[in-house]
Structure 1
Amino acid sequence: MNKFLYCTLVLLDISVKWTIQEAPSLKFPHYDPMTSRQLMCDQCPPGTYVKQNCTASSKTKCSPCPDQYYADDWNSNEECQYCNVVCNELQYEKVECSSTKNRICECVEGRYLELEFCLKHTACPPGFGVVQQGTPERNTVCESCPEGYFSNETSSKAACREHTNCSALGLKMAKKGNATCDNVCQEERTDKSDQQCEIDITLCEEAFFRFAAPTKVPPGWLDTLKDSLPGIKVSAEIVERIKQRHSSQEQTFQLLKLWKQKNKDHKNVIRGMDLCENSVLKQIGHLNITSEQLGILMENLPGKKVGKEETEHTLRMCKSRDQFLKLLNLWRIKNRDQDTIKGLTYGLKHLKAYHFPKTTIQGLRKVVKYLHSLTMYKLYQKLLLEMLGNQIPLVKVRRG
């Protein structure tokens, strides 16, 4: 025989013998009354029990555990154990009772087991963040936010967030944050930043322009409107293009938008809009929306998204109060003049999933309601009549 093959077989034989010697004994001692001798009987595998012990002439006889009974290990028991675990209120059955396992119960999502009760995970208050999320076996672990971090919400899942780095955004810190609020960043606008933060039409102007469209557009409405508007006129050629490209309800908005752009160097071309503009700016300024919150909000608007680079550029170039309005302006342009207020309303419905501050959501909803309030509709109607005078008697102005 080949020497190499012989050595291999010898080593294999030694390995098998060593493995057999190392294997745990799965036998149990049993006194045989027939022979008055102690025998070593085979144990029964998991899921079974000893139905009949071994004798000098026969092996152990095993039988499967009946329903609702189990054996989770090799054993010499003459009966299986009963599945005695019962799931209590606010628990669910994680592992069913089987022939090899007892039933396992676990607290439902958001709760943990303390003694025999499923208690709700602790929600960390503002100024504290989650360092270890709760599990079905343990409670949430909260710690106070360290220097440079904050939490402005009550949550059982949110960790402390790092303060916005104003300098990294090319901004100045207007107000230093603490454990419960973020840094407030802003920049003194230069002529260049003024131009880059310009908005073609404001939220108030957009609401006004959309209000101006009659519910039922009469024949010749767009031409009459073009001729009646003060200041620099929109050409007839452009009006025809608007008619071809846009629906009847959208045409009024498009004409007023182009007319505003042509007259942007003329101050107070829309007289009386200051009341609306100042109120909206004041409400938004009080919200102190962070750059992170702005990013989340813009991601939840429908349609095409404002790109990351455009967002970062806006945060660098615009004052904190103007950032939100500029980003909404960019969104409208990207989405071919879709209604900004409708887009914002859609986005606000999805912010709760991101642990967005309730006060911010409520504040933005107030802006939406304000722009569509009866008070503002009356103002829009007054402004429209003042702009057009008695030159359009055939048109009935739409009421809110």
Structure 2
Amino acid sequence: MRLVDFKVAVCMVNVILLHSGLSYSCGRAEYEIDGECCPMCPSGTHVYKHCTEYTNTTCVQCIGKTFIDEPNGLPSCRPCKVCHAGLLSLKVDRECTPSSDTVCGPLAQHYCIEPHEKGCGLAQRHTVCKPGQFIKQNGTAFTDTICEECPDNTFSDGLSTSCKPHTICQSLGLIQRKKGNQFTDSECREHEVHVGLILGGMFGLLLLCSSTGVLIFILHRKKRRKQNPETQPKEEETMIQQPQDGGEGETIKG
């Protein structure tokens, strides 16, 4: 059967159905335009010219940032979705193609709060744990971060997955200057030494050094005298004058 005869037959069937009160619809792979049933264009293309009695539907490919992801009878393609970073906190997970729309996902450190089968419509920043809390569960692209309070005698800056125990100053031989809390560690200091004790000790040490020096000097002098007896002072010579008859006395060296 020629195409003209087929079109005429279809038209006659439509007229008969119309007058008989019955309705007629185009097939699943067709679309209706001006009473005609035209073949649809495939995904990734749109209708450039509708079919006629003598010609088939003319289709052209989607260009630019446009797409159609199903068979259609549309005169133009749909615009691709834009993943707004500032407005919606989204990024492009998959680029748009002629036959598929852009797929958006949450930015880093964000999670999707409006998920759908074709990506994400809106995202929100992960909760940031505060000092005194720890990260019980890290956030993902579709779940928020879960924070939990630090238990007693521990602390955290909020950036860790666990809390640290407070420093025990006594175990380090130190004195606790400030008690720790959920946010900060304990502060320790060294033992204080009394100034009077320091000065007394220094004076005693100085006195001891002085006494030791004098004693060493005395012992050293005595030792030198024993080793060099000629250095001892000589006994003074005594002059004894004995009288003699009729003359001068005689000098006797004692």
More strand by share: 2
- TM-score in terms of structure 1 length: 0.28
- TM-score in terms of structure 2 length: 0.41
More helix by share: 1
Larger radius of gyration: 2
Larger RCO, structure (CA 8 Å, separation 6 or more)? 1
